[in-house]
């Protein structure tokens, strides 16, 4: 076989291989592009889901904060309703105690009085 003919046969084989590889390269480029689009879609979907979750938790957090504040305000109101009468009662008890202590002091002073006449005058003036 002449060299020229052999070269042509081999060139035809190489040309066929080049065409085949070019076709495969094109197909793989398309697959690569499709994969990139899928990755991009998944990332976008993931970011959207993350944003949605963050937003929902922020709403729930705000709701819980408001609920907590209402519960605390209710407890403070109830505390006032309970403590106000109790504190008023305590003031009245203290006033009564002060009055008794003053009376006790006066009586003790009378008992300590050395002068019997002064003591008797004060006792008769008291008129139990």
Residue 96 lies in a domain: yes
CA distance 2 to 9: 11
pLDDT of residue 10: 87
Residue 43 lies in a domain: yes
Residue 120 lies in a domain: no
pLDDT of residue 1: 77
Residue 126 lies in a domain: no
What are the angstrom distances between the C-alpha of 63 and each of 28, 50, 55, 76? 52, 20, 12, 20
Residue 127 lies in a domain: no
Residue 45 lies in a domain: yes
State the average pLDDT over residues 33-38: 98
pLDDT at residue 7 greater than cutoff 80: yes
- Average pLDDT, rounded, for the chain: 92
Residue 37 lies in a domain: yes
pLDDT of residue 113: 72
Beta carbons of 45 and 37 less than 8 angstroms apart: no
pLDDT in tens, 12-31: 999 999 999 999 999 999 99
pLDDT at residue 73 greater than cutoff 90: yes
Residue 123 lies in a domain: no
pLDDT at residue 105 greater than cutoff 60: yes
Number of domains in the chain: 1
Domain that holds residue 49: 3-114
């Amino acid at each position: 076989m002449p060299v020229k003919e052999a070269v042509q046969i081999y060139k035809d084989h190489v040309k066929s291989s080049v065409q085949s590889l070019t076709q495969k390269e094109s197909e793989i480029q398309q697959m690569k592009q499709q994969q990139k689009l899928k990755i991009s879609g998944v990332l976008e979907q993931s970011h959207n889901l993350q944003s949605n979750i963050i937003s929902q938790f922020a709403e729930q957090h705000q709701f819980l904060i408001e609920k907590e504040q209402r519960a605390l305000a209710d407890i403070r109101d109830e505390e006032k309703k309970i403590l106000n009468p109790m504190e008023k009662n305590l003031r009245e008890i203290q006033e009564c105690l002060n009055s008794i202590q003053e009376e006790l002091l006066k009586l003790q002073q009378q008992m300590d009085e050395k002068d019997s006449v002064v003591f008797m005058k004060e006792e008769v003036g008291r008129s139990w």
